[in-house]
Amino acid sequence: MAELLLRPFAAIGNLTLAGLESMGRAWRLFASAAVSIRNTDVWMPLLLPQMARVGVASVPIALFIATFTGIVMALQASYSLTGTIPSYFVGTLVGKTMILELGPVLTGLVLAGRVGANISAELGTMRVTEQVDALETLAYDPLAYLVVPRLLAGIVMFPVVVLLAISIGIAAGWFTALQLLEMSSAEFVKGLRIYYAPWDVWFAVIKSLSFGAVVTGTGCYCGLQTEGGAEGVGRSATRAVVAACMIILCLDAFWAAVLL
């Protein structure tokens, strides 16, 4: 009986310890990766391909999402802003939400699926087929060779992709306002500008930068932790996506609390 009562607590305790342990391992990985940055000769040649993979290849999906987000934002804004509120608030709403929230976060979440899973599966396969070990025996630092270029590519390219997504999202909202909401361009722009603060864009950049580190970082971490063949690779890809999404949302709240 007592055993039965204690079991949930033991489970929670186990879970907590496991969580803390993997957090500690992740931090150790990133600390070592930070040290490995000095091996510039190893990661420098790999940075460009990774930037192409993390950034350039993500542009279409990010722009696709942003376009529809912009359209939906404009339509919903005009739907909820009825009566006394002037229609140019559609522009305000589209601009503010795209820049502050939806641009960085939606892009981050989508790229967590695209980039994070991709990295995790790739490194996971390399881990279970001993390619990571092979790198080490060939005198390569696997962190410098695998983790650093991906992490840096994420940090550099995410803000770029997000800025593009924001621009396209606002443009899509604008177009919608003109075509479907019978607003004038001047009205929409007035709404865009009326509450705009330069800090907003910095906020978006800081956010997307951290999301880039989170997505590529969890991808690398989960990938390198992979155990147990093809099934393990699939599992760690899933884990990378889930973890990255959760961390992105927590971080989003954190930045909002700290920076706004």
Residues that bind another protein (CB under 8 A): 48-49, 51-52, 55-56, 59, 83-86, 88-89, 92-93, 95-96, 100, 125-126, 129-131, 133-141, 156-157, 159-164, 166-167, 170, 192-196, 198, 200-201, 205
Q: Residue 5 Cβ, how far from another protein at the closest point, in Å?
A: 28
Closest distance to another protein from the beta carbon of 29 (Å): 14
- 144/247 with CB nearer another protein: 144
Which is nearer to another protein, 9 or 137 (by Cβ)? Answer: 137
**CB 59 → another protein: shortest distance, Å?**
6
CB 260 to another protein: min, Å:
8
For tokens 């001047």, name the residue.
Answer: 186
Q: How far apart are CA 199 and CA 248, in angstroms?
A: 20
CA quadruple 31, 35, 41, 46: dihedral, nearest 10: 10
Residue 161 or residue 247: which is nearer to another protein going by CB? Answer: 161
Characterize 188-221 residue by residue with b for buried, 16 or more Cβ atoms within 10 angstroms of its Cβ, and e for exposed.
beebbeeeeeeebbebbbebbbbbbbbbbbbbbb
229: left (phi over 0), alpha (psi -120 to 50) or beta: left
Closer to another protein by CB, 71 or 90: give it: 90
Question: For tokens 């971490």, what's the residue?
Answer: 221
- Residue 201 C-alpha from the chain's centroid: 17
Round to whole Å and give the CA distance between 178 and 187.
Answer: 10
For the CB of residue 91, give the shortest distance to another protein in the complex, in Å. 10
Q: State which residue, 26 or 46, has the beta carbon closest to another protein.
A: 46
| Cβ at position 93, least distance to another protein in Å | 7
* Identity of the amino acid at 250: C
Question: Is residue 81 helix, strand or coil?
Answer: coil
| Residue 250 or 256 having the CB closest to another protein | 256
Which amino acid appears at position 156 of this protein? V
Distance of closest approach, residue 89 Cβ to another protein, in angstroms: 7
Q: 68-77 burial, b for 16+ CB within 10 Å, e for fewer?
A: ebbbbbbbeb
CB 90 within 8 A of CB 77: yes
Residue whose CB is less far from another protein, 97 or 176: 97
